[in-house]
Structure formats: structure tokens, C-alpha cells
């Protein structure tokens, strides 16, 4: 993961991998090479979805959602950077900013085969767009083996988010106001800084705020999903929504075209194991799937999905997966998994309009993308 973050920070606008999906060599054509050609790829030789897959997908959601902002930027290096791989004492960081000073700050505390120290000095001064920003306002500790990207001078539909210690994930048109989605790394202080005249109101979860200098700094609690409405100083209607997901739920959050429009789907009780051609949820047999979806207008769930109590601004749907079928003989080992599953996974898809897919082994159900 660190290499992928580093590549984007150093100017890459397109990410490529070797390998992203493992495979099997053709016997007799590979010389002395092993038949298994996998290299712990995010998608394994036999289709296993490894833990790294969800981490890469989260980074890819950022790159896809903020493509226009990213491609306008140029890299800005640490002026005191030390080009020595044995140097582990200075914070490793790099910026990407456009001509108006908008962009992203990348921080990295990982290096292959090197034990990195826990940092206590994560704070960077950024001179951009005629303004000097200190990000964050107080130095943060950063554990080893972490890498993240933070927004700087993000235009939220006419209101500037000066900086934040939450990571961008996606943007949505929304039913009422445009929505920016972030996730909160568990090591940060989860702060968002605005001009002190900006008005924030709570829509979901809690937050605290303080005035430091000319900045209004809002802080969201750890492990909480938060939704804030942003208003201009002279405005009555909100101009933007900010959603902050916890680090854990961000790994099962993705933007997909569902029932005809891009939506954020946050899954619980199952993993989002497929996005094309349907949105597929996979969980243990007997599990209850929860899907929180934003925006909410025009959703068309299929048979078996039930509307639950909403957590506004999200709509919540649930689906109960069937129990595991009675085993005939000994359970089979899944190639490359290292274990025989005690509860075979089942999946559910969100059907296309007029579809009659149901749970079952012959045609696993899902929540399908509209044509």
C-alpha cells in the first residue's frame, strides 16, 4: 500500500500493479517456474479476495473520485528532504498542489524491510495560494507502517476546507446538496479546518469545534460516522455535506452506479465482493447484511431486502442470508485459503428492475447496477 500512496504523491495519475490478480501457469510452458503465480496479489490465484484488496480499493476510490483535482496538480517536495533510505528520523511527506494552492498532502511512515519509529512530529507548514497553513494545528503522533493523504484547500461548493486530518474517499451529487466523503485514520485527531465564519451543523453523530486564530476547527469522535452540513456565513441553506466514516467501515465503502446513479454504499455483516456487473455482498451463511446507501432517492431493492430504520442522511436496507446447506461428506478446502471454511459464504445482489433473482447456489443474488 505504501508504494501506491507514494506513487500518487510523486505524481502518478494512473496506478498499475504487478500483480493484482494471481494466476496459474500452464504446465509444461513455464520451465522451472512454479505453477502457482500469485505473489500475494490482492485477488488470489483462485479468486480469493485478500485483505489488501479492500485497502487498495479505498485508495482507488479516492483517485477515481478526485481525478480532476489530482491531474491539475504538480508535486511539491519537502525542501529539507534527505535522499538517504537509511534516514528514518525526518517525516516523509510530499504535496500535490495546483496553481491556486489546492491539492493534497501525503504523509508516509513506512519503508520495506525497515523498522520505522513512531513519529511525534506530524505537522507541515504549507505556503500555498498566498496563504500559509500549518497542517495540522498541533503535531500528531504517527505509528509505523501508516501512509495517508490529507486534503488542502478543498472547494466545498464555495466554502474552502482549509485542511483536514481525514482522508478523501469520494464525491457525490447528492439529492439536496453535493456531498464529500472522507474517512478518519485511527491515529489522527480527525480535525477539519475552515474559516471561522463558516457555519457547521450536525446531521449525524457528534462533533466539537473551537476557534484557533482565524480557523474554525471541527473535530469528530473516533470510531463514529459523522455527517455535517456546511453553510456559508451569509447563507441559510447548506451548500455542502461532509460525511466522515470510521477507518473500519471505510474498507467496505465504495461508490457504485446503483439504480441509475452513483451512490455510496457502506456494508456491514458482509464484504462488498463485486461491483460489476452487479453490486455483490458476500458474508458467512446465516449472516445479516446491512447496506447504508447515499443518496437515497430512486432506490429499487429486490426481493428479500428490507428497509430498516434510517440513519439519515443514509437509507438502510438489510438482507438475511440463508443458513449453510447440510454438508455431504467432509468439507472441501478452498485452494490457497489455508483452511476449510466452517460456514460457507453466501452472497446477495441488488437486482435490476423486474429481476427475480433470489438467494441460492445456482445463481448467487446481488444488488445489480442499472443498465
Domain end position, chosen among 220, 235, 250: 250
Q: Has residue 7 been placed in a domain?
A: no
Q: Are residues 224 and 156 in the same domain?
A: yes
Q: Residue 166 pLDDT more than 70? A: yes
Q: Are residues 245 and 263 in the same domain?
A: no
Residue 42: the pLDDT is 92
Least confident stretch, 83-97, 154-168, 207-221: 83-97
Q: Are residues 100 and 228 in the same domain?
A: yes
Task: Name the CA radius of gyration of the chain, rounded.
Answer: 22
- Number of folded domains that form the chain: 2
Q: Are residues 241 and 265 in the same domain?
A: no
Q: Residue 277 pLDDT more than 80? A: no
**339 versus 257: which is more confidently predicted?**
257
Q: Are residues 126 and 246 in the same domain?
A: yes
Q: Are residues 180 and 240 in the same domain?
A: yes
Cα end-to-end distance, the chain, whole Å: 33
Q: Could you count the other beta carbons within 10 Å of the beta carbon of residue 115?
A: 8
Q: Has residue 146 been placed in a domain?
A: yes
Task: Quickly state the pLDDT bin for 101 (edges 50, 70, 90).
Answer: very high
Q: Are residues 231 and 260 in the same domain?
A: no
Q: Has residue 216 been placed in a domain?
A: yes
Q: Has residue 3 been placed in a domain?
A: no
CB neighbour list of residue 371: distance below 8 Å, 6 or more residues apart: 352
Domain end position, chosen among 227, 250, 273: 250
Q: What is the DSSP letter of 117?
A: P
The mean of the pLDDT values for the chain is 86
Interval 315-336 mean pLDDT = 70
Q: Has residue 282 been placed in a domain?
A: yes
Q: Are residues 244 and 290 in the same domain?
A: no
347, β-bridge pairs: 282
Q: Has residue 9 been placed in a domain?
A: no
Interval 135-160 mean pLDDT = 96
Q: Are residues 235 and 300 in the same domain?
A: no
Q: Residue 62 pLDDT more than 50? A: yes
Percent above pLDDT 90 for the chain:
61
Q: Are residues 111 and 244 in the same domain?
A: yes
State whether residue 279 is helix, strand or coil.
Answer: strand
Residue 98: the pLDDT is 95
Q: Has residue 85 been placed in a domain?
A: yes
The three grid cell numbers given for residue 181, joined into one nine-digit string = 466523503
Cα separation, 298 vs 257, in Å, equals: 12
Cα separation, 140 vs 263, in Å, equals: 33
Residue 229: the pLDDT is 97
Give pTM, 2 decimals: 0.87
Task: Quickly state the pLDDT bin for 31 (edges 50, 70, 90).
Answer: confident
Q: Are residues 139 and 176 in the same domain?
A: yes
> Could you tell me the CATH number of the domain that includes residue 82?
2.102.20.10
Cα separation, 65 vs 69, in Å, equals: 9
Interval 16-35 mean pLDDT = 83
Task: Quickly state the pLDDT bin for 231 (edges 50, 70, 90).
Answer: very high
Interval 243-258 mean pLDDT = 94
Domain end position, chosen among 184, 217, 250: 250
**48 versus 295: which is more confidently predicted?**
295
Interval 137-160 mean pLDDT = 96
Cα separation, 161 vs 333, in Å, equals: 50
CA-to-CA separations, 60 to 3, 129, 254, 295, 309, in angstroms, rounded: 13, 28, 10, 21, 31
Interval 65-69 mean pLDDT = 96
Which of 81-95, 247-261, 327-341 is most confident? 247-261
Interval 255-271 mean pLDDT = 92
Torsion angle (degrees, nearest 10) of CA 325, 331, 332, 333:
120
Domain ranges, residue 364? 253-368
Q: Are residues 103 and 118 in the same domain?
A: yes
Amino acid at each position: 500500500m505504501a508504494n501506491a500512496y507514494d506513487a500518487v504523491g510523486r505524481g502518478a495519475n494512473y496506478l498499475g500493479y504487478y500483480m493484482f490478480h494471481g494466476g496459474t501457469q500452464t504446465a509444461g510452458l513455464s520451465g522451472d517456474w512454479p505453477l502457482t503465480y500469485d505473489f500475494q496479489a490482492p485477488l488470489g490465484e483462485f479468486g480469493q479476495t485478500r485483505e489488501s484488496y479492500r485497502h487498495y480499493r479505498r485508495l482507488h476510490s479516492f483517485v477515481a473520485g478526485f481525478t480532476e483535482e489530482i491531474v491539475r496538480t504538480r508535486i511539491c517536495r519537502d525542501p529539507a528532504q534527505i535522499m538517504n533510505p537509511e534516514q528514518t528520523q525526518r517525516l516523509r511527506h510530499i504535496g500535490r498542489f495546483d496553481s491556486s494552492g489546492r491539492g493534497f498532502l501525503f504523509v508516509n511512515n513506512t519503508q520495506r524491510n525497515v523498522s520505522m519509529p513512531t513519529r511525534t512530529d506530524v505537522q507541515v507548514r504549507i505556503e500555498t495560494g498566498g496563504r500559509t497553513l500549518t497542517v495540522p494545528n498541533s503535531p500528531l503522533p504517527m505509528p509505523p507502517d501508516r501512509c495517508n493523504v490529507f486534503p488542502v484547500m478543498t472547494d466545498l461548493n464555495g466554502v474552502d476546507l482549509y485542511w483536514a486530518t481525514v482522508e478523501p474517499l469520494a464525491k457525490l451529487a447528492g439529492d439536496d446538496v453535493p456531498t464529500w466523503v472522507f474517512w478518519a485514520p485511527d491515529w489522527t485527531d480527525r480535525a477539519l479546518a475552515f474559516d471561522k465564519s463558516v457555519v457547521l451543523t450536525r446531521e449525524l453523530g457528534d462533533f466539537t469545534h473551537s476557534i484557533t486564530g482565524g480557523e474554525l476547527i471541527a473535530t469528530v469522535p473516533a470510531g463514529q460516522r459523522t455527517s455535517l452540513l456546511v453553510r456559508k456565513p451569509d447563507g441559510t441553506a447548506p451548500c455542502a455535506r461532509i460525511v466522515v466514516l470510521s477507518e473500519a467501515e471505510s474498507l467496505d465503502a465504495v461508490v457504485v452506479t446503483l439504480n441509475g446513479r452513483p451512490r455510496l454504499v457502506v456494508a456491514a455483516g458482509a464484504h462488498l465482493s463485486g461491483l460489476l456487473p452487479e453490486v455483490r455482498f458476500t458474508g458467512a451463511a446465516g449472516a445479516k447484511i446491512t447496506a447504508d446507501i447515499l443518496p437515497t432517492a430512486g432506490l429499487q431493492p429486490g426481493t428479500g431486502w428490507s428497509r430498516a430504520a434510517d440513519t439519515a442522511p443514509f437509507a438502510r436496507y438489510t438482507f438475511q442470508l440463508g443458513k449453510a446447506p447440510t454438508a455431504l461428506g467432509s468439507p472441501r478446502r478452498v485452494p490457497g485459503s489455508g483452511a476449510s471454511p466452517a460456514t460457507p459464504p453466501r452472497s446477495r445482489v441488488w437486482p435490476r428492475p423486474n429481476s427475480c433473482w433470489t438467494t441460492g447456489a445456482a445463481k448467487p443474488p446481488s444488488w445489480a447496477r442499472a443498465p
